[in-house]
Amino acid sequence: DAGVIQSPRHEVTEMGQEVTLRCKPISGHDYLFWYRQTMMRGLELLIYFNNNVPIDDSGMPEDRFSAKMPNASFSTLKIQPSEPRDSAVYFCASSFDPLNTEAFFGQGTRLTVV
Amino acid sequence: QKEVEQNSGPLSVPEGAIASLNCTYSDRGSQSFFWYRQYSGKSPELIMSIYSNGDKEDGRFTAQLNKASQYVSLLIRDSQPSDSATYLCAVKPRGGSYIPTFGRGTSLIVHP
């Protein structure tokens, strides 16, 4: 398996624009996580899905953020409208069973909002 | 609010020395503890997990857990320049979602 695949790797956008980040989890993993990493706040869980259903979105900072998982092999994180303070590295991770196994991270998307 | 605290560093050690990384957590009910390594510009990768009090060794790495004092540590023996990275501590609660809370990480620099 190629691991968790995220796209794009880098995104530079202007304030106010819509940004869509994409993730393909490892096949067979039932759990998918979206994290945001900044120097100030570290690695924060934004939302996670189990079997394509959002379970906990309490980490989503504002209504400008939304996430979907239309099927087991694809998820998106959308920011609309984007703001400079959204600049961060966004990681997607997947796991077979979070109780007993680790989460595998994608390579991340470095987002810069200017 | 479950918190996981780490000294941000950087922790600088000479090659061949023992590097000691520490982590404290606030949720006394936590049951699983993990150390991830993250190279600059890369994603976190799991290097150690520990579930019970005491030491767990894996090659040059030793994880130590003390639930009474609510801390977990990672020792790296014979440190190599290739160990230079940020080390993230992650803690899973007992029950509930089992989703870990991450510390902000400690930057380790191993100089030749």
A38 φ/ψ angles, rounded to the nearest 5 degrees: -135, 160
What is the pLDDT averaged over residues A78-85?
97
Tell if the CB–CB gap between B44 and A91 is shorter than 8 Å: yes
Q: How far A16 CA sits from the closest chain B CA (Å)?
A: 26
A52 φψ region: left (φ > 0), alpha (ψ -120 to 50), beta (else)? left
Average pLDDT, integer, range B14-21: 98
pLDDT at A98 over 90: no
Which has the higher per-residue pLDDT, A8 or B2?
A: A8
Q: B43, A33: Cβ pair inside 8 Å?
A: no
Query: Does the beta carbon of B7 lie under 8 angstroms from any beta carbon of chain A?
Result: no
- Residue A8, pLDDT > 70, answer yes
Residue-wise pLDDT tens digits, B29-86: 888 899 999 999 999 999 999 999 999 999 999 999 999 999 999 999 999 999 999 9
Whether A16 has a pLDDT exceeding 90, the answer reads: yes
Residue reference for tokens 């961060």: A88
Q: What is the mean pLDDT of residues B12-33?
A: 94
Q: So what's the pLDDT on residue A1?
A: 64
Looking at CA atoms only, how far is residue B72 from chain A in angstroms?
18
pLDDT at A92: 97
pLDDT at B99: 81
**Mean pLDDT confidence for A102-107:** 91
The verdict on a CB contact (< 8 Å) between B43 and A56 is: no
- The predicted structure's pLDDT at residue A64: 96
pLDDT in tens, A21-79: 999 999 999 999 999 999 888 999 999 999 999 999 999 988 999 999 999 999 999 99
The answer to whether residue A91 neighbours chain B at the CB level (below 8 Å) is yes
pLDDT at position B92 is: 87
Across the interface, whether the CB atoms of B43 and A106 are under 8 A apart is answered yes
Residues 6+ positions from A44 with CB-CB distance below 8 Å = A35, A36, A37, A38, A59, B102
Residue type for B33, please? F
CB spacing of A102 vs B46 below 8 angstroms: yes
Residue type, A102: E
Residues 51-70 of chain B with CB under 8 A from chain A are none
Record: contact B99-A41, CB cut-off 8 A: no
Confidence of residue B90 (pLDDT cuts 50, 70, 90): very high
Q: Are A75 and A49 in contact, with CB atoms under 8 Å apart?
A: yes
Q: Is the pLDDT of residue A100 over 80?
A: no
Distance CA B84, CA B86 (A): 7
Report yes or no: A88 and A82 within 8 Å, Cβ to Cβ. no
Quick one: pLDDT at residue B54?
96
8 A C-beta contact, residue A35 and residue A41: no
**Contact at 8 Å (CB) between B105 and B75?**
no
